[in-house]
Amino acid sequence: MSTHPPIIGNWYCLRAGALFEVVALDEASGTVEVQYFDGTLEEMELDDWHAQCATGDIEEAEAPEDWTGSVDIDTEADASRSGNVGGIDDDRRLNAMGPDEPDTLD
């Protein structure tokens, strides 16, 4: 089996099926920090990473289609941002009006 270096932002899976992303790498201390799809963080020794790659216990994987499982995002707060209250559409209208037209966005 081959070993591959941990790359921040890349996704991997354990032989047992757990999907995770490398979120930090500290070569000076020899550690890799990973975050599983459910949000759990774990730190492992870089030597352990290479050993598990060599035995096939860690393999490269595609990012999940819904990668937000590992990120703490409040979907309601995210939806409220897309309500265009002071958002991109308002900015586009202001830019389209030009300097001589009155501001009627109130």
Please enumerate in sequence order all residues whose Cβ is within 8 A of that of 3, keeping only pairs 6 or more positions apart, or say none: 50, 53, 54
Phi-psi region of 82 (alpha: psi -120 to 50; beta: other; left: phi over 0): alpha
Q: Report DSSP state, residue 98.
A: -
pLDDT tens for residues 25-65? 999 999 999 999 899 999 999 999 999 999 999 999 999 88
H or E element, residue 80: helix 75-81
Is the pTM higher than 0.75?
no
**Quick one: pLDDT at residue 78?**
46
